[in-house]
């Protein structure tokens, strides 16, 4: 019997086919979506020598047609017409393929999916085009510090270990270099697939609404023909570790793209996924303590010294037979100069752990938290479930297939203990042990230090800066200094470090009152409406988990009134969270969640998790918001971090910047990060200390309480906020202020032409936006949604698959306040002017695409939209987000999905064609368009000569242009009578 979470109503069956393919079948009668995933236990560690990226390339090409379904886009076309999508990823040891589809169409999708592993075509035409897609994917990551540092870590590992391989691949490794060596990459691709795509190292998961017997029949009939080559797991044949003695005891100094200050300590570690650790999970104990943030922790100490902003720690599985343990610390400017002190501090904490020994109460706390995570694990989107479980099946089978990754079944201190920080062997109670913590020794690690300030600090001054091969990352490698080694070899205990206190936030009550209802509510009920506060409430009648989510919007026009006010609000939020960190971390560990943010209308606080102790967290949080006393030093470090965040925006990807500047034009009020940078230097801690009381003094609060809580208790929770703040009422005229949307005049195109600020980014980007109209108009809203559905697959197939304009190609809706539009986004090495022409050519061809739709095909598109609209919330969080989106937007149109799904049924093809001709057709002279062109450094935009086109060539001109635009309407205000809740 497979162990399930308490709230899991699915049925499971584990089978093994004749070809040794393990299959997990999941019957979910309530799911509107079906899914499957197949994980092959081979990844880029097994790329052939000289052809880095081949496993990833194979993943790309597998979707490009099969003998049974030879049309290149047949699979994606089928999924798109039935509310579905597909995706895949390649990692060091795994290649994972998955899809989602409407629940009535699983069998057809499964049949197509199975053929990828039986008879893929790998056609020559597709091979050439997908080479460009892989190269484009790599180039989009070239300026990503995460990708750069990860590959550099690999590059500087043991050269005899396959961990050093470049897993993504690019034109150089998959075309140019092989060609020089006379290697036919397509032939190598076929060999790779033939050698490693064997059913005995594959795991399959299928989720559908059909009975388990039907799902089993499909699995057997469709996947038994996947060839079984009886091969061992390929990566299991590798020996050794990526970190040998030659790589340990080293500093890797790195110059990042963004203004980052970070220390990454990496220890050589065993494979924590090995069978001997599955029941005990000893690394969980280490991660729990080293990554802790309460009083007595490493982070607490570093923050008190003004050296760090945040810390994370834990094991990082590398592959079969090897792993890593990592501690990552984001530093303050002062912390950079104390980087060796910080390293010593980490080891002093480890020495404290060694000195106090393995504590069974800490283990039991970890065990209890793991059990809670499993007992009340909630459903997620089916494709995510299948993808995760397919990979998990390689490690856990039988009754533990779901629980194995969560539960800690056995206490084994011998596997946890650190005997001596120098890996000495010691006898205790007659037993010899030297296990997990021994690996966290002073001779068994290396450090990556990322900063843009090495020259200023006088650090890493010797030797020349080198450039990494694939990403161009600048770096130096140096041995640990003699002074650091001396300090590490003479560590002393410090009173600053001690184990955390027992966690009082761990819940003890899990009772849930179920409602006698056959049809769950779709809305929330207003249970309080006063000049100070409006409270919405809904008792969970679907998931029956002992959790609750509390949303609170604190409206004040002062928060975003000026750029300076916006900066003060940003600082205030970070200071509140920072001051509560040691307290709130305990709550987070125990399954509680919180966030505090700001927007154009005020502050938003969200608190959620197990309902047993949630009032304690809420009370503490709002008290701190009211009574915060700003520490001058913490203000200094947080301000410094915020300045870096503002600065780093310019290093974002071009497609992100295109959306950002598009919002700057469309949004009524938007302070840019440059506006904020101009203000922040002059803002003092006294300015913030005097600012936030003026917000709290007069505001209007609107909240939602949803979950395992009664109506009267929901009101009590919100009264905590009202009584703590003791605010006066905000005038009615100020409560509903919303940033509205600028309306583009008919027949005009606003073309924003800006240069990508990062001179090293090879990509340009475009957002091509067509403004449609009022989003509360059901006809416009539904027609836009249906057109998006019809155009989605043809857009991707034409612009991404066939024309290979770039790896990132997206089409969909853009919804601003009361305005809906349609857009296409591309990031590419091509000039934005060319991208614009290709988008317009695609849009011109969409007319014929619509005309050519058969009645059956058109109905499939409508059904696909309806399935998406009617898709039920997967868990309490999703449901709370949906309810809050309606409340916070002021529309409160809780049953919009039901209304829209009925309207979609009435739409004819002629109506869509008329909609296209009026709004979408590039030939339509009355169209309303915005085109944001982010061109890469050193290139120019070729002007497009069209009537009604207005060129905008600077950020200043964006604000000049929008000053002359009319504004759309604000959201419709709530007009709902307070309902009685006695029926609940």
Catalytic residue list: 59
What secondary structure letter does DSSP report for 537?
E
Distance, CA of 788 to CA of 811 (rounded, Å)? 7
Q: How many residues does the chain have?
A: 984
Give me 723's structure tokens: 């009584």
Residue found under tokens 């943010």:
597
Q: What is the DSSP string of 676-715?
A: HHHHHTT--HHHHHHHHHHHHHEEEEEEEEEES--HHHHH
Give the number of other Cβ atoms within 10 Å of residue 447's Cβ.
20
Q: Which runs of E-coded beta strand occur in 21-165?
A: 22-27, 33-40, 85-90, 95-102
Distance, CA of 395 to CA of 22 (rounded, Å)? 12
3-class secondary-structure state, position 39: strand
Cβ atoms of 533 and 553 closer than 8 Å: no
Distance, CA of 815 to CA of 741 (rounded, Å)? 10
Residue found under tokens 């003094």:
697
Q: Tell me phi and psi for residue 577, to 5 degrees.
A: -65, -40
Strands 592-599 and 602-610, by their bridges, are antiparallel
Q: Which residues contact 295 (CB under 8 A, 6 or more apart)?
A: 500, 501, 582
Distance, CA of 506 to CA of 740 (rounded, Å)? 44
Give the number of other Cβ atoms within 10 Å of residue 757's Cβ.
14
Cβ atoms of 477 and 155 closer than 8 Å: no
**What kind and span of H or E run contains 314?**
strand 308-319
What's the Cα-to-Cα distance from 971 to each of 1, 666, 818, 888, rounded to whole Å?
Answer: 52, 16, 6, 10
State the sign of the Cα–Cα–Cα–Cα dihedral 539, 540, 541, 544.
Answer: negative
**What kind and span of H or E run contains 639?**
helix 632-648
Distance, CA of 252 to CA of 13 (rounded, Å)? 49
Q: Which residues pair with 13 in a beta bridge?
A: 25
């Amino acid at each position: 019997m497979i162990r399930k979470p308490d709230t899991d109503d699915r049925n499971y069956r584990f089978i093994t086919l004749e070809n040794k393919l393990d299959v997990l079948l999941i019957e979910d009668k309530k799911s509107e979506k079906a899914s499957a995933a197949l994980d092959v236990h081979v990844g880029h560690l097994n790329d052939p020598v000289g052809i880095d990226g081949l496993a990833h390339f194979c993943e790309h090409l597998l979707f490009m047609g099969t003998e049974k379904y030879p049309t290149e886009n047949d699979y994606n076309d089928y999924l798109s017409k039935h509310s579905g999508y597909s995706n895949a990823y390649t990692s060091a040891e795994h290649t994972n393929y998955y899809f989602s589809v409407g629940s009535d169409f699983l069998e057809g999708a499964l049949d197509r999916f199975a053929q990828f592993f039986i008879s893929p075509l790998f056609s020559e035409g597709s091979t050439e085009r997908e080479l460009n897609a892989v190269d484009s994917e790599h180039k989009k990551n070239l300026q990503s510090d995460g990708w750069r540092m990860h590959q550099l870590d690999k590059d500087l590992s043991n050269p005899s270990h396959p961990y050093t391989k470049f897993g993504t691949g690019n034109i150089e490794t998959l075309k140019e270099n092989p060609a020089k060596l006379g290697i036919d990459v397509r032939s190598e691709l076929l060999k790779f697939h033939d050698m490693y795509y064997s059913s005995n190292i594959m795991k399959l998961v299928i989720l559908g609404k059909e009975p388990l017997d039907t799902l089993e029949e499909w699995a057997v009939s469709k996947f038994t023909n996947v060839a079984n080559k009886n091969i061992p797991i390929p990566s299991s044949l590798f020996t050794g570790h990526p970190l040998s003695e030659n790589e340990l005891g080293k500093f890797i100094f790195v110059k990042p793209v963004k203004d980052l200050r970070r220390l990454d300590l990496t220890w050589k570690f065993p494979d924590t996924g090995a069978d001997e650790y599955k029941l005990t999970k000893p690394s969980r104990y280490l991660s729990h303590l080293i990554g802790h943030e309460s009083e007595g922790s490493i982070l607490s100490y570093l923050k008190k010294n003004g050296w760090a902003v945040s810390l994370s720690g834990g094991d990082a599985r590398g592959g079969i037979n090897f792993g890593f343990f990592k501690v990552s610390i984001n530093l303050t400017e002062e912390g950079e100069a104390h980087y060796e002190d910080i390293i010593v501090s980490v080891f002093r904490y480890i020495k404290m752990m060694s000195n106090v020994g393995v504590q069974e109460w800490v283990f039991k706390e970890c065990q209890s938290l793991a059990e809670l995570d499993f007992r009340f694990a909630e459903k997620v989107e089916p494709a995510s479930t299948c993808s995760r479980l397919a990979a998990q099946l390689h490690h856990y089978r039988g009754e533990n297939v779901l629980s194995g990754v969560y539960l800690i079944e056995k206490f084994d201190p011998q596997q946890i203990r650190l005997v001596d920080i120098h890996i000495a062997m010691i006898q205790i109670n007659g037993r010899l042990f030297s296990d997990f913590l021994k690996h966290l020794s002073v001779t068994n690690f290396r450090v990556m230090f990322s900063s843009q300030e090495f020259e200023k600090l006088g650090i890493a001054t010797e030797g020349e800066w080198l450039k990494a091969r694939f990403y161009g990352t600048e770096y130096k490698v140096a041995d640990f200094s003699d002074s650091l080694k001396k300090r590490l070899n003479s560590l002393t205990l410090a009173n600053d470090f001690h184990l955390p206190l027992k966690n009082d936030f761990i819940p003890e009550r899990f009772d849930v009152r179920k409602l006698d209802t056959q049809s769950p509510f779709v809305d929330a009920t207003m249970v309080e409406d006063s000049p100070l506060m409006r409270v919405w409430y809904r008792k969970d009648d679907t998931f029956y988990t002992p959790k609750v989510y509390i949303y609170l919007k604190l409206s004040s026009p002062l928060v975003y009134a000026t750029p300076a006010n916006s900066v003060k609000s940003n600082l205030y939020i970070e200071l509140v969270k920072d001051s509560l960190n040691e307290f709130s971390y305990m709550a987070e560990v125990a399954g509680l969640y919180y966030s505090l943010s700001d927007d154009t209308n005020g502050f938003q606080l969200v608190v959620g998790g197990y309902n047993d102790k949630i009032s304690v967290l809420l009370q503490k949080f709002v008290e701190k918001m009211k009574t915060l006393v700003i520490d001058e030093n913490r203000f200094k470090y947080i301000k410094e971090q915020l300045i870096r965040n503002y600065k780093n925006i310019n290093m974002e990807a071009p497609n992100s910047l295109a959306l950002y500047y598009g919002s700057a034009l469309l949004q009524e009020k938007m302070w840019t990060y440059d506006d904020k940078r101009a203000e922040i230097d002059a803002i003092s801690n006294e300015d913030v200390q005097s600012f936030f009381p003026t917000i709290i003094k007069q505001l209007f609060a609107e909240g939602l309480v949803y979950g395992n809580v009664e109506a009267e208790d929901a009101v009590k929770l919100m009264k905590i906020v009202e009584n703590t703040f003791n605010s006066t009422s905000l005038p009615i005229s100020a409560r509903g202020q919303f940033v509205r949307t600028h309306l583009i005049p008919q027949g005009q195109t606003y073309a924003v032409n800006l240069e990508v600020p990062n001179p090293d980014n090879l990509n340009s980007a475009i957002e091509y936006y067509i403004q449609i109209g009022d989003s509360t108009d059901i006809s416009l809203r539904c027609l836009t949604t249906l057109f998006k559905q019809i155009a989605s697959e043809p857009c991707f197939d034409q612009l991404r698959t066939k024309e290979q304009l770039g790896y990132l190609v997206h089409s969909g809706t853009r919804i601003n306040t009361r305005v809906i539009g349609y857009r296409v986004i591309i990031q590419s090495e091509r000039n934005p002017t060319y991208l614009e022409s290709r988008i317009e050519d695609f849009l011109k061809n969409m007319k014929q695409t619509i005309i050519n739709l058969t009645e059956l095909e058109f109905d499939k598109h409508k059904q696909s939209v309806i399935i998406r609209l009617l898709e039920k919330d997967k868990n309490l969080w999703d449901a709370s987000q949906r309810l809050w989106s309606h409340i916070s937007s002021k529309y409160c149109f809780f049953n919009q999905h039901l209304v829209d799904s009925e309207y979609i049924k009435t739409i004819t093809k002629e109506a869509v064609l008329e909609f296209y001709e009026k709004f979408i057709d590039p030939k339509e002279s009355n169209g309303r368009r915005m085109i944001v062109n982010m061109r890469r450094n050193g290139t120019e935009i070729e002007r497009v000569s069209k009537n009604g086109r207005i060129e905008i060539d600077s950020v200043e001109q964006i604000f000049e242009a929008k000053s002359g635009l009319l504004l759309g309407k604000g959201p419709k205000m709530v007009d709902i009578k307070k309902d009685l809740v006695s029926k609940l």
